[in-house]
Every structure is written in structure tokens, then in C-alpha cells.
Amino acid sequence: MLWLDLGNTRLKYWLTDDIGQIVAHDAKQHLQAPAELLMGLTDRFERYAPDFIGISSVLGDNLNAKVSETLSRLNIPFEFVHVDAAHALMKSAYNDQQLGCDRWLQMLGAVDKKKRQCVIGCGTAVTIDLIDHAEHLGGYIFPSIYLQRESLFSGTKQITISNGTFDSVSQGLTTQDAVHRGILLSIVGAINEISHRHPNFELIMTGGDAAIISQHVNRPVRLRDDLLLNGLARYFDYRNKS
């Protein structure tokens, strides 16, 4: 099987064998042109010869249509995931016309009906979702550390910071440090507050910035980079059985 994740910044793919082991994987920035990026990958995908392609996309109808057009040339069946708030593996109280597919799949990949879980996705947006014994209670959406920095850059005259590392949440003494530390604290502080309000929820983090953020969280965090893939596999596996 081939699995695709079209996020707002990167396209990720995984090729798995019949026992679900990953045999190839890559993540690339798509610069808002995922279909063009996929075009460049079609030779590789043809060589992989998967029998099915399962897709998570948060890119919207127009880009998804272009992606479909590109994938159609491969003559391999493919399908986009649709969020289902009444899914047997996890019920959700969230508006399922709006809930992002990646958010939902990350939760589906993590969900355990014996646990209380807080799933944190650290991509272009940071999402924090609460799940109580396989019931999604709702969540929060924040701009990522990079989006926050861009908005300060574009919305102010004297902040001209466009690069630097996010490595501390102590107070800064320069604009550079104050910007990076303030932004990182806005996310770390929110996670700490939510975890304080929900002390018996296990914290699970995934996505490109999970490692940077988790270092400053004041409770143990499980880092899992396989959540979305696991969610995709569970979704299509469940659908084939029912």
C-alpha cells in the first residue's frame, strides 16, 4: 500500500508491505503545488506498484482535484479519507464538516478505548485534542511557531526577525530572543495549562515540530511519528472489513 499525507507545508508518503512494515518513506515541502510535486514522484510510485493509495489531505477541493488528476495517470486505485464523527473506533462531538482530516486520523491512530488521551499535532498549525475513552471532546488550534513568527514580521515595523531557533522559554533580553521565547512559550504554556486542567489524560505528540515543543512540557510526553499513518491504516482496514 501507498499512503499519502498532504499537509499545509509538506507532502509525506509511506510505502508499506503486506504486514504493514514501512519499506519507503519521505517528506517534502510542496510549496502549495502538491500535484506538481506528485508528478515528479510518479515514476517512483509506478516502480513501487502498490495495489492501493490511501490519502489524507487538508488542502481543499481545488488542490485535491489536481492531485486526483495526477494520480489518475498511475492506474492504481486511490481514495481520499472522509472524516466520520460517528466512526466505530472513535465518536466525535466536533463538527465533522469542519474537522481536519489529518487531525482526525492522528486521533484515530492513537485512540485507545481504555484511556484518556490528549493528542497534539505540531505541523503548520498546532492542534490539541482531548479524547476520553474513545470519545473526542473537542480541541484547540494555534498557529505554529513559524506562522507566529511570520505574523509578527509582517504585522510590525520593528520586528524584522525571520530566522533563528526556538530553544528556550525564559525571558529574552533582545528582540530575537523575546520573539522566539515568547512564541515557544505561547504553545508550551497552552499545553501545560491544558494538561493541568486534564491531569489524567496521556500526552501524545506528533508532527514536524513535536520534538522542539515537547522538551519544554512539564509532564511526560509520548512522541509518536506514526500516528497519521496508523490512522490511515486503521481507517482503510476498518472500511474493508465492514
Ligand X SMILES: CC(C)(COP(=O)(O)O)[C@@H](O)C(=O)NCCC(=O)O
Ligand Y SMILES: Nc1ncnc2c1ncn2[C@@H]1O[C@H](COP(=O)(O)OP(=O)(O)O)[C@@H](O)[C@H]1O
160 has binding-site annotation:
no
Give the x-and-dash track for 59-78 against ligand Y (CB under 6 A): --------------------
Contacts 24+ apart (CB under 8 A), 171-180: 179/149, 179/152, 180/145, 180/149
- Local structure of residue 226 (DSSP, 8 states): T
Choose the stretch contacting ligand Y; rule: CB under 6 A; options: 45-53, 83-91, 201-209, 217-225. Answer: 201-209
Which of 2, 3, 4, 7 lies at the binding interface for ligand X (CB under 6 A)?
A: 7
61 has binding-site annotation:
no
Rule CB under 6 A: which of 56-85 touch ligand X? 58
Catalytic residue positions?
Answer: 102
CB of 125 to ligand Y, least distance (A): 7
Instruction: Determine which helix (DSSP H) or strand (DSSP E) holds 131, and give its type and residue range.
Output: strand 125-132
Q: Binding residues for ligand X, how many (CB under 6 A)?
A: 14
Q: Binding residues for ligand Y, how many (CB under 6 A)?
A: 10
Determine the Cα–Cα distance for residues 112 and 222; give it in Å rounded to an integer.
Answer: 14
Q: How many CB atoms lie within 10 A of CB 172?
A: 14
Which of 2, 3, 4, 10 lies at the binding interface for ligand Y (CB under 6 A)?
A: 10
Give the x-and-dash track for 119-148 against ligand X (CB under 6 A): --x-xxx-x-------------x-------
Find which of ligand Y, ligand X, none residue 99 binds, CB within 5 to 8 Å per kind.
ligand X
Determine the Cα–Cα distance for residues 92 and 28; give it in Å rounded to an integer.
Answer: 31
Does residue 76 contact residue 15 with C-beta atoms inside 8 Å? no
Cβ-based burial of 215 (10 A; exposed 0-12, middle 13-18, buried ≥19)? middle
Determine the Cα–Cα distance for residues 32 and 194; give it in Å rounded to an integer.
Answer: 32
Most distant CA pair in the chain, distance: 59
- Is residue 56 at the binding interface for ligand Y, with CB under 6 A as the rule? no
Find which of ligand X, ligand Y, none residue 209 binds, CB within 5 to 8 Å per kind.
ligand Y
- Is residue 215 at the binding interface for ligand Y, with CB under 6 A as the rule? no
Kindly tell me which of 50 and 207 has the beta carbon lying closer to ligand Y: 207
Q: What is the DSSP string of 26-95?
A: EEEE-TT-HHHHHHHHHHHHHHH--S-EEEEE-SHHHHHHHHHHHHHTTT--EEE----TB-SS-EE-S-
Rule CB under 6 A: which of 132-171 touch ligand Y? 146
- Is residue 103 at the binding interface for ligand Y, with CB under 6 A as the rule? no
Known binding-site residues equal 5-12, 94, 100-103, 124, 175
What does the binding site for ligand X look like in residue numbers (CB under 6 A)? 7-8, 58, 98-100, 102-103, 121, 123-125, 127, 141
Site residues, ligand Y (CB under 6 A): 7-10, 123-124, 146, 207-209
